[in-house]
Amino acid sequence: MSNGLFDLSADVAVVIGGTGGLGGAMADALAGCGAKVAVVGRSAQRGAVRVEAIQAAGGQALFQSADVLSSDSLAAARDEIQSQFGTVSVLVNAAGGNRPDATLPPGSDFCKLPLDAWRDVFDLNLVGGVLLPSQVFGQSMVEAEQGSIINIASMSGMIPLSRVVAYSAAKAAVINLTQFLSREWATTGVRVNAISPGFFPAEQNRALLYNEDGSLSERGSQIIGHTPMGRFGTAEELGGAVCWLASRAGSSFVTGQNVVVDGGFSSVTI
């Protein structure tokens, strides 16, 4: 286990969306720094795999199911986690995603984008992805006068990328809400920040980045060509940022920030 600035041995961390690839890697990193980690998601099977991996590496973890679009479900999850591990001091909001009918393929008509698809993407990424978990777990943090909330935004929330219009708009709202909450809770001991990953191949975007034969798609090639480091990121490369923002010793004066982990993608303007 680590110590010093990245020592989280006194913390209980909740990773909502910890059953996914990026959320799971962040759960691993937090546990590696000593935190007790609650992996929250819908799939008990995937949650058990993540918990077993953390425990096998010497960490402490449990799985808790919850519906991120239900305050009652989240409150029940919070109470169960705190009964087993103690007061939650770190919340990582890593739930999110897109849906095909909320994207705009080349030549499609923006005016025909289905409203229900737009709403679903906003509900998943903004309402369930940040708003409700921050209300439920943030209440406990404010009462305890300490805590770190880390929202997972996206490069597309900073730059309105083509095709993923609803997702981009929702993630832009995540960054805005992060800044609002950081100001709202600045004197309570609760810090609120965001991480905007660049391009990390995962289940949700792999078909956009790669062809069926494993070669880069046209879009994947364009992204690599725009990234100074010349590659995609790996999930483990988010670990340092999340542990730093979780740590009171390491980032006690950091709030309202959007930490970009993108291999330099956002630094290229031409």
What pLDDT is attached to residue 1?
Answer: 44
Q: Residue 207: pLDDT band by 50, 70, 90 thresholds? A: confident
Residue 12 has pLDDT above 70, yes or no: yes
Residue 2 has pLDDT above 80, yes or no: no
Task: Please name the amino acid found at residue 215.
Answer: S
Could you tell me the pTM of the whole model?
0.94
Task: Please name the amino acid found at residue 58.
Answer: G
What pLDDT is attached to residue 190?
Answer: 98
What pLDDT is attached to residue 206?
Answer: 81
What pLDDT is attached to residue 161?
Answer: 84
DSSP code of residue 216: B
Which whole number is the average pLDDT over 221-240? Answer: 94
Catalytic residue among 122, 167, 244, 265: 167
Q: How far is CA 92 from CA 112, 125, 151, 188, 270, in A?
A: 34, 13, 6, 18, 33
Mean pLDDT estimate for the chain: 94
**How confident is the model over 79-132, as pLDDT tens digits?**
999 999 999 999 999 999 999 999 998 889 999 999 999 999 999 999 999 999
What pLDDT is attached to residue 202?
Answer: 81
Distance, in Å, from the CA atom of 85 to the CA atom of 193, rounded to the nearest integer, reads 24
Q: Residue 270: pLDDT band by 50, 70, 90 thresholds? A: low
What pLDDT is attached to residue 162?
Answer: 82
In the chain, what are the domains?
Answer: 4-198+233-260 (3.40.50.720)
**Beta bridge partners of residue 92, listed in sequence order:** 15, 150
The answer to whether 167 is a known catalytic residue is yes
Q: Between β-strands 12-16 and 90-93, what pairing exists: parallel, antiparallel or unpaired?
A: parallel
The percentage of the chain sitting over the pLDDT mark of 70, rounded to a whole number, equals 99
**What is the per-residue burial (b if ≥16 Cβ within 10 Å, else e) of 219-247?**
bbeebbebbeeeebbebebbbebbbbbbb
Q: Taking each helix axis as running N to C, give the angle between helix 21-32 and helix 239-246, from 0 to 180 degrees, rounded to the nearest 10.
A: 50
